[in-house]
Structure 1
């Protein structure tokens, strides 16, 4: 599972401080079935519910000023995760394949108090509390969950779900049209055969006072 590491590495019980101090590198793969919270996001009708993610991790240290004014090595971790998982499109309700590309850098601290005191303006570096038995797989899963799209959807839906065609109000239908969905029937003043969202906007403007 591990391909390039200076020391033996168990991704579920990783001595994160030693990994960073030694400048180790490691790589491996995890399936969605090994990540239970991520698996909950995959629809049951997906073509493949157990897709594969590859990951690479690299430890390092950088000299930084400590609280006592002296300069000391600060441990860092860089993590990259790549792969894809099937999600449910929120427009047509069909499964689609979502790509994931995570590349994150973390400053490793020793306690929650230290993490809370870390400056919030460091937007390029996250803070994690390290340990001698750090669960790297949990960090991988957390990053994948954070990378989930706010509204999962196809770039272009192959079909329009019938609930969007026959079961929406006129206001909702115009909202769907703005998302590029055709076939909505209940929007006012729209030609039933091929609705034109620009015509709807023009009609609304002519009704508005002034």
Structure 2
């Protein structure tokens, strides 16, 4: 139904009743909750959503994908890393909390409040949920600093200090000051 530039507002129930679809592109900069990804603001967001009413349980559903590329921070080397983010959408339209509790497990609820809704919060939420827990390079471009554990000789405590439970802390403090 909608193709190319994404509409600002959609009517999910009407689209589901008609078996409609929404597909198109926008940019990361059009999604305010993704503003923290400053270097990715110009990246394209591809959206392909199919709305339908299922015959067996008469649920109005939304299924499809939302894809983009975001620059994240590698948690190993703290350098930027580009990630392809693909969010798989599987939602059922619900109008109350009770409806949401009765949904089959394969669907997440999308709580409806109005007939006409902005598409932006849905896109933002799906992309945020699809972010990796820990972003890392396959192979970090900069060598990592060697943080080897101290050898037993370095942490050896003289016998007279062994009875003091804080002796190891004093040793660590002394090593740090050197």
The TM tier, using the shorter chain, reads: 0.7 to 0.9
Distance 2:60 2:6 in 1: 19
- Is structure 2 residue 94 aligned with structure 1 residue 132? no
Normalised by the length of structure 2, the TM-score is 0.73
**In the alignment, which residue of structure 2 is the partner of 1:144?**
127
| 1:92 partnered with 2:77 | yes
**Cα distance between partner residues in 2 of 1:90 and 1:151:** 7
Structure 2 Cα separation of the partners of residues 138 and 160 of structure 1: 39
What is the CA–CA distance in structure 2 between the aligned matches of 1:11 and 1:110, rounded to whole Å? 23
| Aligned partners of 1:49 and 1:86 also within 8 Å | no
Unaligned runs of 5+ in 1: 66-72, 166-182, 190-210
Q: Which residue of 1 aligns with 2:8?
A: 12
Report the RMSD for the aligned CA atoms in angstroms.
Answer: 2.4
Kept after mapping to 1: 8 A contact 2:6/2:23: no
Could you state the TM-score of these two structures normalised by the residue count of structure 1? 0.63
* Aligned residue number for residue 38 of structure 1: 34
Count of residue pairs brought into register by the alignment? 150
Q: Distance in 1 between matches of 2:33 and 2:88?
A: 20
For 1:26 and 1:37, locate their aligned partners in 2 and report how far apart those are by CA, in whole Å. Answer: 21
* Alpha-carbon contact 1:3-1:27 (below 8 Å) kept: yes
Q: Which is worse superposed, 29-38 or 13-22?
A: 29-38
Alpha carbons of structure 1 residues 127 and 156: separation in structure 2 relative to 1, 3 Å: same
Divergent runs of 4+, >6 A: none
Which structure 2 segments of 5+ residues have no match? Answer: 152-178
Counterpart secondary structure, 2:149:
coil
Q: Which structure: larger Rg?
A: 2
